[in-house]
Structure 1
């Protein structure tokens, strides 16, 4: 593809790209900072730290299906802007409590719940908005570019968050992080391409419309397999990651900066994966890339529980790097597969249904990790989670994706672009 034909030169995609990058930096740093705020400032137990992570992700389980219906009824650009502004205000609400020394765990849980609900709408909307901006034939490139910046956000977020916690108090660092969402809203507001107003739904019914999205996903065997693999991986990932913060920070006594460095090294694997994802999919085929990416890298996760405050810290970080590399290649391939397969009118509901299924396991994983850590120990739950992630490839391996090169691509009719 000629360089000038890259989506980097597509004005509105570039604005979405910048806005999404800012939002992802804020999201990644929040997932790191809020549990750290509970652990360091509020002296939370491992179970309470797990509850903060549960609150951050619970909305994917509670709101996942209705969010898809509402996104399909609305202009998705507006949903993105409102979600960003709402997250800014939610995190800013910590300022008075921090200033007067009355910040409590219940307030932190409430902020995490509101923040998580708005994140559901943002994530469903941007995945549904991308095909409108770039067209079906450029989805792999668009997803790879967005994924690369998301990985950079994941790489920089924990380190920036750790350094900010050391320079400021944790609560003020969280509030400063909220400005990322305000910056994202500005860039998305600058996008000039407007979606047509969604057609009015005769006799709208939330339940019936949500069921239509469920039927589409469950009626397609590859989508069912993707949901099973991704949901399994996310369940064990969220059981492990909050406990890694506790292990590195509380048990090994590492500084916030070094804890952030561990997750930054892992996120660097995601950056590398995003940069390689398109070429790997072109070589192996999109279907085979989906299962091979996590099958070949998942076992490296068994290095993570070996972490100690010596050379084994770097060995564990290398394992985190490999798992993140495979996970990102997998994500680019499976998201592009889903978007190309789905009719546009169902994109919001399909993405929301998949998010409900695959992210809905995350609060369960965080709750499971915190509960079991109190019973069998923090390092034991990290070992268990590493084994679960290593086996997560099995549903997609045992599906038709094992031999498929890609989805049945279809041309979409040209959309009329209108101005508001």
Structure 2
């Protein structure tokens, strides 16, 4: 199977998986709130069930993905998610739907999604050559932005028009279709190191990230960015509503511009790398993130909505370029036998920063006020620039290993 054909088949599968996932994860809170009258505390438990696997299972997922066929992990993950949708449909059909069943579904889907994400990022070098990483990751990021925008809208519209069974069935079909596409990919052999025990293999992946100057810089930047984002995200709605006087609808418009920015970033990443080089392109995400919050803080009467929209657009376009460039560079500098553990290590570290950022945002908002907390998040975004700017990654012109 030709390289382009292999990638397109993987891309279509990835797009279907993402649509299934975003539809499902948008639907679960809607079912909890509208059908089961969940309390705020119960909604919190649902959110906890969705996020918990990324902390508990990320490192074991990396070991598994480096030991077995990554294609089979993708297939199994989508089949598990499809089965979870079928189980929830049966519970609804027999009038046995409950919050514990919803928690179990959320935990199952999120766990399968974690294994899927690690395998998907790790299999790409088996499908395309190094000089195609940026273009391939741009396409995958475009799918991600489309799924982020389209999945929740699809879930809500189907729920309103036909009830909860319809979006569950659609999500299940997306997963099954994706699994079928992955099954058609050729099985490619790769060097696999002898097993040395799960804990030792986890340590090998973590040590590789810490010792590698490029991966260390990328990880530090990602850690700081996640803290900054969750500090900002914790207080944004309060700032937009109380300080800027935006209505709920206007806040929704501003937030939608972040998705537009994500799509734009995915489209421009490849030509940007070709023009500026991989190193300078890596700085686009941190720099635009640092510029976004001053734009928001400069908003005044009459400019609140366009300035808030511009800030969120910047927080979409730059990080999207960052995702494409740093994922491609990570794939280029990591041996295939370690790639699953490296991806999982970085996913584990960044997931750990999210609750820290949310707690910090809430504490700062209470102590120094909402606007000062937005400014503090802007300073944290500014710090993201330093690990990359001071590393050898910023001086790279072409992708390592590219022709």
TM-score range, shorter chain: 0.7 to 0.9
TM-score by length of 2: 0.82
> For residue 219 of structure 2, what is the aligned residue in structure 1?
227
> For residue 106 of structure 2, what is the aligned residue in structure 1?
112
Q: State how far apart, in whole Å, the 2-side matches of 1:377 and 1:100 are.
A: 51
Matched, 1:69 2:63: yes
Q: State how far apart, in whole Å, the 1-side matches of 2:208 and 2:373 are.
A: 35
Matched, 1:190 2:184: yes
Q: State how far apart, in whole Å, the 2-side matches of 1:172 and 1:73 are.
A: 37
Contact 1:95 1:172 survives alignment (8 Å): no
> For residue 322 of structure 1, what is the aligned residue in structure 2?
314
Q: Classify 1:82/1:107 alpha carbon distance in 2 versus 1 (closer, same or farther; 3 Å).
A: same
CA shift, 1:222, in A, is 2.3
CA shift, 1:366, in A, is 6.0
Contact 1:74 1:198 survives alignment (8 Å): no
> For residue 4 of structure 1, what is the aligned residue in structure 2?
none
Show structure 1 runs of 5+ residues with no match.
1-6, 412-420
- Cα deviations by residue, 1:280-311 (Å, 9 ceiling, x for unpaired): 1222221222123221244325667999xx98
Which of these residues, 323, 326, 336, is aligned with residue 331 of structure 1? 323
> For residue 15 of structure 1, what is the aligned residue in structure 2?
9
Contact 1:74 1:197 survives alignment (8 Å): no
Contact 1:76 1:126 survives alignment (8 Å): yes
> For residue 92 of structure 1, what is the aligned residue in structure 2?
86
> For residue 278 of structure 1, what is the aligned residue in structure 2?
270
> For residue 154 of structure 2, what is the aligned residue in structure 1?
160
CA shift, 1:89, in A, is 1.7
Q: Classify 1:123/1:242 alpha carbon distance in 2 versus 1 (closer, same or farther; 3 Å).
A: farther
> For residue 401 of structure 2, what is the aligned residue in structure 1?
409
Q: State how far apart, in whole Å, the 2-side matches of 1:304 and 1:221 are.
A: 34
Matched, 1:340 2:332: yes
- Cα deviations by residue, 1:356-398 (Å, 9 ceiling, x for unpaired): 22234345556777x7699789977984785344653343234
Q: State how far apart, in whole Å, the 1-side matches of 2:236 and 2:247 are.
A: 12
TM-score by length of 1: 0.79
> For residue 281 of structure 2, what is the aligned residue in structure 1?
289
Q: Classify 1:56/1:406 alpha carbon distance in 2 versus 1 (closer, same or farther; 3 Å).
A: farther
Contact 1:286 1:405 survives alignment (8 Å): yes
CA shift, 1:79, in A, is 0.5
> For residue 167 of structure 2, what is the aligned residue in structure 1?
173
Matched, 1:127 2:121: yes
Q: Classify 1:327/1:303 alpha carbon distance in 2 versus 1 (closer, same or farther; 3 Å).
A: same
CA shift, 1:66, in A, is 1.3
Q: Classify 1:138/1:13 alpha carbon distance in 2 versus 1 (closer, same or farther; 3 Å).
A: same
- Cα deviations by residue, 1:240-266 (Å, 9 ceiling, x for unpaired): 6688799999x98858xx987665432
Contact 2:23 2:151 survives alignment (8 Å): yes
Q: Give 3-state SS (helix, strand or coil) of 1:325's partner.
A: helix
Show structure 2 runs of 5+ residues with no match.
none
Q: Classify 1:239/1:34 alpha carbon distance in 2 versus 1 (closer, same or farther; 3 Å).
A: farther
